[in-house]
Amino acid sequence: MKFFFLTIKKSIKLLFFIWLFWNIWIFSEIVWWKFYNPKGLTSLTAQREKERLAQHKIPYIHYPWISYSHISNSLKRAVVAEEDANFINHSGFDWRGIKVAFQKDINKKTVIAGGSTITQQLAKNLFLSPRRNLFRKAEEAIITVMLEMVWDKRRILEVYLNVIEWGDGIYGCESAARHYFGVTVSAVTSSQAALLASMIPKPKYYDRFGTTEKLLDKSQLIQQRMNQVLIPK
């Protein structure tokens, strides 16, 4: 019995050091990406690449990087209005949204509901798997704190807009603007920006089925809220 507990103790120590080094590596990446753009595979694009290979499709991961100043302010406002209206003011977590999401999870006895801020979504896209479980949510929270400590809001939104998924093999705002409207992201209009923001929760679906009535209704609501939100300068 004593040997059993010693083995358990050693295993816990080993897992702790693995977890610690994993988070040290993540922190070093975050510090590096404060000054240099993450142009390689993110956790999300790596997962999508595996999915395309499993479907016997050629993996295609490409997202031309666009600096914050060259991204349409309309798109910035639309995305913030849709995904995280309090983005400029919170420290990485929308506690009211988390409370609502937590209550939904309690009712459904699972870990499904959202409530994630832009920073939380970025943490997941850059480093974590799409699986939904308590461990991943805890790690997402740790990475969110790291991002908010090291980056300012402008950098967080810039990276987010450049790496998120906007369709099948479409990543980043420049690729999305060119794919859906044939323009550069600096030229995106307010109505186009609202449509792009509306697609974020289900990008592959809307890429496949195009503009639906539900998407148009949602984009109109986003347009009404766009001037009510603040964005980093």
The tokens of 27 are what?
């922190």
With tokens 């080993």, the residue in question is 14
Q: How many domains does the chain have?
A: 2
Residue range 46-79, pLDDT digits in tens: 888 888 888 877 766 677 899 999 999 999 999 9
- Give pLDDT, residue 80: 97
**Count H helices, E strands: the chain?**
11, 2
With tokens 């639906």, the residue in question is 212
> Do 220 and 124 have their domain in common?
yes
Residue range 173-228, pLDDT digits in tens: 999 999 999 999 999 999 999 999 999 999 999 999 888 999 999 999 999 999 99
- Give pLDDT, residue 97: 63
- Give pLDDT, residue 48: 86
> Do 24 and 95 have their domain in common?
no
Residue 119 belongs to domain with CATH number: 1.10.3810.10
The region of weakest confidence among 19-23, 54-58, 91-95, 120-124 is 54-58
- Give pLDDT, residue 112: 47
- H/E segment holding residue 214: helix 213-225
Residue 32 belongs to a domain: yes
0.85 exceeded by pTM: yes
Residue 179 belongs to a domain: yes
> Do 134 and 95 have their domain in common?
yes
> Do 84 and 167 have their domain in common?
yes
Question: What's the rounded Cα separation, in Å, for the pair 50 and 165?
Answer: 15
Residue range 134-166, pLDDT digits in tens: 888 899 999 999 999 999 999 999 999 999 999
H, E, C per residue of 74-101: HHHHHHHHHHCCCCCCCCCCCHHHHHHH
